[in-house]
Structure 1
Amino acid sequence: MPRYLLFPGRHHLLTRFQAGYLRQLAAQGDDSLADGDAAAGSEDAGGATVVWAVTSANHENTRRNPVPYHRREAAIERFSVLTGLRSVVVPIFDTAPTDRFAEVTLKTVAASTGLELTPADTVVACSTPEVAAMYERLGFRIAGVEADVEPAPVRPWDVLLRLADDDPSWRDLTHPATVDVYRRYRLDDLVRSVVNDPVVGDEGGLTATRDYRTYAEAFSDAAQRKWDAVREHVRPGRIVDVGCGAGAVLELADREPALRESDLIGVEVARQLFEECVHKKAQGVFTNPNVFFYRRNVLGGAVFAPRSVDTTMTFALTHEIWSYGERMASLRRFVQALYDHTVPGGVWINSDVCGPDGRDRTVRLRLTATDGVNPSRPRTDLASLPPGEVAAYVGGLSTRARLDQFAVDYRFPFAYRPVDGADDTIELTLGAAMDFLTRKDYTDNWLSETQEQFCGMEYADWKSLLTDVGFEIDGASGTSRNDWIVTNRLAPVAALSTPAGEPLDWPVTHVRLVARRPVNT
């Protein structure tokens, strides 16, 4: 008779089947447990203690891990009371893939509880063959849970997917402890929102190929410039930075004496960046006590109540909404949501990349072919390579060859044709040319950057969208060109001209929008 039952898993949802199975396994013939006597959960009951190793405990609001650990723990404790099981709950943080994960889990249990679980006193309850095999190699006996029964009952994750699909049968399969916690904390709505999110991936980011470390560093380096550009337009009160990254701009807002009575709120969807924001707050980076961070996807529904926000800031965000959503349809929903949550007289300040005026006109683009290698054809297998190999390969291409590779990896339509008699010159639209030129040097995040479109909107499109929703466009709004990029990245390797060969100046690359909700709305 085992003293302990180690039950590893994510445990987002507990089932009625698990309740019966664990009670029987823990009792091993103990009639008091079989009868459901609550006293059987006591130290002296003779039943085994269930050690719940809750994996991915540091992940939440992702498609793979929608429910935060503390809510999972609450449901487990409630489950234990209702079933009469004596339980110990241990959080297991996510790790890189390793065939020693079973050992990591056992060591974490020992460090957290002092329990040294051994094959002599512990049975591992696990229905996942790959995980069970890790414990078998260590000498543990395995109880297969759902895998022990024919026909196999519905597994917890499949029950959760039924919930996400609005299949009412999920309640019949789910243990009342989980149903109770889900109802009290509205976790069923959370699960539906996260699992069905069309934008965010399994791990809580927009793309699995992005290096969030370098991404956060770049945002931090540019934070002062961004804050300087918008500070004069910020209205005190409730100030929200949507897509706040690692919170660098809010750090600068926090230092402003004039905003010391304001609420500073960061909204971030990427798990890695949100966790850095929370870490900064815990370390005392912010002096204002009214600094808050929310992990939300703004396309999943309203984040703030109507007419409740004085200032909204967005930096380098709207092109991602366009790219990872449904382009104009998603952007319109986003702008409408911002308008709705803005107080009359409040402001939305948006800074982002921008398409050139007349982005659909045809131009000629001459590209240097002597600054790197020129393969006979672009590769089609970059997605299967490690990031370092992708960066090295793309970084070694000539500018002309890099365009051919961009056309393969770019997620959006990208039409061009070589000009007869000029191997280094092609014809394409001005917008397509600038989409390539403004991304060609992002080799470290190549497969991420080629999922985004920078030039989907030009300034005229922005003005039309904002006024259509109801915003008034402040005179401080307008476009600009990053001359450093022109001087250092574009002009040395590229040139623009008309189809007739007349030289063209480099177009605008960025937009700043200061949009106000009219006072009388």
Structure 2
Amino acid sequence: MPQEEDIRTNYSRMILLFPGRHQLLTNFQFQYIADLLSKGEPTKDIDGNIVQTSGVIDALVFAVTSANHSNTRRNPLPFYLRALAIQEFADRFHIPAYIYGIDDVGNLGSFASYTIKRIRHESEGMFDLTPANTLVLCSTPVLEMYKTLGFTILPAELTDRTTWKHSTRLPWDIVETIAGDDRWETNLEVHQYMHSSSFDVWKKYKLASKVQLLFKDRMISEDGDITGTRDYNTYVRQMDTIAELKYTETASYIRPGRIGDIGCAVGSWIKLACRDERLRESDFYGIEVARHLFDICQQRKHNGEFKNPFVFFSQRNAVTGLVFDKESMNTIHTSSLTHEIESYGSRQDLLAFIKNRFEELTHGGVWINRDVVGPENKYTRVLMHLAKNDGIHSDVDKTFSTREELAHHLNGLSTYGRFLRFAKDFRKHEGYTLEYRMRELEGKELVELSLSDACEFMSRKDYTDNWESEMHETFTFWSIEEWKGELEKAGFIVRPESQAYTNAWIVDNRLVGKAELFEEESGALKRLPYPVTNMIVIAEKQ
């Protein structure tokens, strides 16, 4: 067996590089590598050339890609569990094996080159992989990047490079089989293809139930996010800017003990709660499904930004199940989350979310829910007067290839022009049609529409940076009285402090002089007050 210094300095032999996400390993992969290392016949590369591998491979290097991702459909397993299975798998060969995690860097055309450089860096120079000293084992389109760099590719399962036909099932096929079978441990197909090293890890750490939950989730993308059209730089700035307001509104309702913030974004609310002397003995649990935001939470914790050391973050989806143990939490906080469940999921998802929070609270515990809300009389027809002198109202339907170009165009539209664009875009992908008509009364050009649609526009008209994302969302689906009714059905007592209110800042900075509401009374216009925009609901489990 070669020593590390031999591998570092002597390239008379070869390294076998095996890149992949490696969520599980297969019996085929094991036998293929075993055959490469045996004294049998030479193998063929991707071009049909004979490659001598017997007795010339010194080490096996696993490059585990997307190592910084976990708890998503595309990458359900964390790196350390993948590495455990790989190590047990590789220990059965007679050559040393090395495992290196390669972080996801997006859709990078030079990802193969990046992987090679990462391995050199992580191995402290022990592995400087080149086409002269390395064979690459790969059967997916990723091989083209290594081929471009001049590496010899061993095809493994791949039989036809033009159609990407394979001779056997790939590892991800088995992941999908497990995801759809609650009795996966006795599934003959799983046993036929899945190597025992992966089977043991999946069984020991109960990974199948997690994967099954992830695959059942309709809201979250395969990379663990609700929407792919959100600009997180803008979003993070917004979260930090309003954190003080959110905490001030909710602080007096917090019960000390185990405190959870679901949809914690970048951890701003928890950061402020950690400074509250009343909560110095409390433990804090932040739950965030979006990978990008979860990573920021972890980095903030590493930076020491939380005064209380008992702060824990998890990347989980609270819609599809419990994220805390039953009857374990004294306080659960959510902010600007429940409307996203209704928007990107379904009404049943929202009702399940409410039920799950009730299950998680201890008796006397509270769920503090701060979010947008609809008016009580949302189906009433109203008349809306919109400013036309604050921009243009031509080319409102113009399309753009980038978010930035669209935002620039929207910022140049008048309030009236922006409404015309809103009416076209609002929840069109969900099949919604915003019905309105133009009217003239008392010398004013007015838009007649439902109060609900008017509220949707007024609340969203200035969100130009994330316009495409915002157009999927609905704010007015329930009034606060409807919220109270659904919470009481789930078993909650709604505290009298719960209220809907009109955000004065929004009125003063976004609505006055831009949009006004009227009703018609005896042929004349009667000015209406600006409707409610937000709510805070305190739901107690008794």
**Structure 1-normalised TM-score?**
0.91
Q: Which amino acid aligns with 2:79?
A: Y
Q: Who is 1:474 aligned against? A: 495
Q: Classify the secondary structure of the residue corresponding to 1:314.
A: strand
Q: CA RMSD in A?
A: 2.1
For the pair 1:285 / 2:301, whether they are aligned, the reply is no
Identify the match of residue 534 of structure 2 among 490, 510, 514. 510
For the pair 1:492 / 2:507, whether they are aligned, the reply is no
Identify the match of residue 72 of structure 1 among 71, 79, 82. 82
Q: Who is 1:146 aligned against? A: 157
How many residue pairs match? The answer is 501
Q: Who is 2:130 aligned against? A: 118
Contact kept in structure 2, 1:369 and 1:400, CA below 8 Å: yes
Q: Who is 2:465 aligned against? A: 444
Deviation at 1:28, TM superposition (A): 5.9
Contact kept in structure 1, 2:256 and 2:331, CA below 8 Å: yes
1:105-504 equivalences under 5 Å are 105-113=115-123, 114=125, 115-129=127-141, 131-148=142-159, 152-166=167-181, 168=187, 169-327=189-347, 329-375=348-394, 378-379=397-398, 381=399, 385-411=401-427, 412=430, 413-421=432-440, 424-500=445-521, 501-504=525-528
More divergent stretch after superposition (254-263 vs 432-441): 254-263
Q: Which whole-Å deviations, capped at 9, do the CAs of 1:44-92 have from their partners, x for residues lacking one?
A: x864422111111111112221111111111111111245553111111
Deviation at 1:216, TM superposition (A): 1.6
Q: Which whole-Å deviations, capped at 9, do the CAs of 1:148-207 have from their partners, x for residues lacking one?
A: 488621111122111112273233211111111011111111111123311111221110
Q: Classify the secondary structure of the residue corresponding to 2:107.
A: coil
Q: Who is 1:24 aligned against? A: 35
Distance in 2 (CA, whole Å) between partners of 1:498 and 1:28 is: 88
Distance in 2 (CA, whole Å) between partners of 1:85 and 1:300 is: 44
Deviation at 1:499, TM superposition (A): 4.1
Which structure features the higher share of helix residues?
Answer: 1
Deviation at 1:278, TM superposition (A): 1.1
Task: Give the direction of change, closer, same or farther, for the CA distance of 1:409–1:145 in structure 2 (3 Å limit).
Answer: farther
Distance in 2 (CA, whole Å) between partners of 1:414 and 1:496 is: 21
Deviation at 1:371, TM superposition (A): 2.4
Structure 1 unmatched ranges of 5 or more: 32-44
Q: Who is 1:61 aligned against? A: 71
Distance in 2 (CA, whole Å) between partners of 1:163 and 1:410 is: 38
Q: Classify the secondary structure of the residue corresponding to 1:502.
A: strand
Distance in 2 (CA, whole Å) between partners of 1:198 and 1:141 is: 40
Task: Give the direction of change, closer, same or farther, for the CA distance of 1:171–1:209 in structure 2 (3 Å limit).
Answer: farther
Task: Give the direction of change, closer, same or farther, for the CA distance of 1:390–1:170 in structure 2 (3 Å limit).
Answer: farther
Task: Give the direction of change, closer, same or farther, for the CA distance of 1:151–1:277 in structure 2 (3 Å limit).
Answer: closer
Deviation at 1:397, TM superposition (A): 2.1
Contact kept in structure 2, 1:414 and 1:432, CA below 8 Å: no
Distance in 1 (CA, whole Å) between partners of 2:338 and 2:519 is: 30
Q: Who is 2:51 aligned against? A: none
Q: Classify the secondary structure of the residue corresponding to 2:539.
A: strand
Q: Which amino acid aligns with 1:56?
A: S
Contact kept in structure 1, 2:439 and 2:445, CA below 8 Å: no
Contact kept in structure 2, 1:378 and 1:401, CA below 8 Å: no
Q: Classify the secondary structure of the residue corresponding to 1:99.
A: coil
Q: Which whole-Å deviations, capped at 9, do the CAs of 1:112-166 have from their partners, x for residues lacking one?
A: 112011111111111123x222222221111111114886211111221111122
Q: Which whole-Å deviations, capped at 9, do the CAs of 1:257-279 have from their partners, x for residues lacking one?
A: 22121111111111111111111
Distance in 2 (CA, whole Å) between partners of 1:91 and 1:207 is: 27
Distance in 2 (CA, whole Å) between partners of 1:112 and 1:157 is: 27
Task: Give the direction of change, closer, same or farther, for the CA distance of 1:84–1:260 in structure 2 (3 Å limit).
Answer: farther
More divergent stretch after superposition (351-360 vs 421-430): 421-430
Q: Classify the secondary structure of the residue corresponding to 1:303.
A: coil
Deviation at 1:436, TM superposition (A): 1.1
Q: Classify the secondary structure of the residue corresponding to 2:369.
A: strand
Q: Which whole-Å deviations, capped at 9, do the CAs of 1:450-473 have from their partners, x for residues lacking one?
A: 111111111110111111111111
Distance in 2 (CA, whole Å) between partners of 1:161 and 1:360 is: 44
Task: Give the direction of change, closer, same or farther, for the CA distance of 1:151–1:336 in structure 2 (3 Å limit).
Answer: closer
Contact kept in structure 2, 1:268 and 1:296, CA below 8 Å: yes
Contact kept in structure 2, 1:473 and 1:516, CA below 8 Å: yes
Distance in 2 (CA, whole Å) between partners of 1:286 and 1:220 is: 14
| Identity rate, percent | 39
Deviation at 1:300, TM superposition (A): 1.6
Contact kept in structure 2, 1:58 and 1:94, CA below 8 Å: yes
Contact kept in structure 2, 1:30 and 1:46, CA below 8 Å: no
Q: Which amino acid aligns with 1:12?
A: Q
Q: Which amino acid aligns with 1:482?
A: N
Contact kept in structure 2, 1:26 and 1:48, CA below 8 Å: no
Q: Which amino acid aligns with 1:198?
A: R
Distance in 1 (CA, whole Å) between partners of 2:116 and 2:492 is: 57
Deviation at 1:407, TM superposition (A): 2.6
Contact kept in structure 2, 1:27 and 1:46, CA below 8 Å: no
Contact kept in structure 2, 1:319 and 1:352, CA below 8 Å: yes
Q: Which whole-Å deviations, capped at 9, do the CAs of 1:194-223 have from their partners, x for residues lacking one?
A: 233111112211100111222122111111
Task: Give the direction of change, closer, same or farther, for the CA distance of 1:148–1:414 in structure 2 (3 Å limit).
Answer: closer
Contact kept in structure 1, 2:13 and 2:56, CA below 8 Å: no
Q: Which amino acid aligns with 1:389?
A: E
Deviation at 1:512, TM superposition (A): 0.7
Deviation at 1:375, TM superposition (A): 3.0
Contact kept in structure 1, 2:330 and 2:361, CA below 8 Å: yes
Distance in 2 (CA, whole Å) between partners of 1:463 and 1:87 is: 59
More divergent stretch after superposition (445-454 vs 360-369): 360-369
Q: Classify the secondary structure of the residue corresponding to 2:100.
A: strand
Distance in 2 (CA, whole Å) between partners of 1:294 and 1:424 is: 52
Distance in 2 (CA, whole Å) between partners of 1:77 and 1:359 is: 60
Q: Classify the secondary structure of the residue corresponding to 2:464.
A: coil
Distance in 2 (CA, whole Å) between partners of 1:195 and 1:20 is: 30
Task: Give the direction of change, closer, same or farther, for the CA distance of 1:28–1:409 in structure 2 (3 Å limit).
Answer: farther
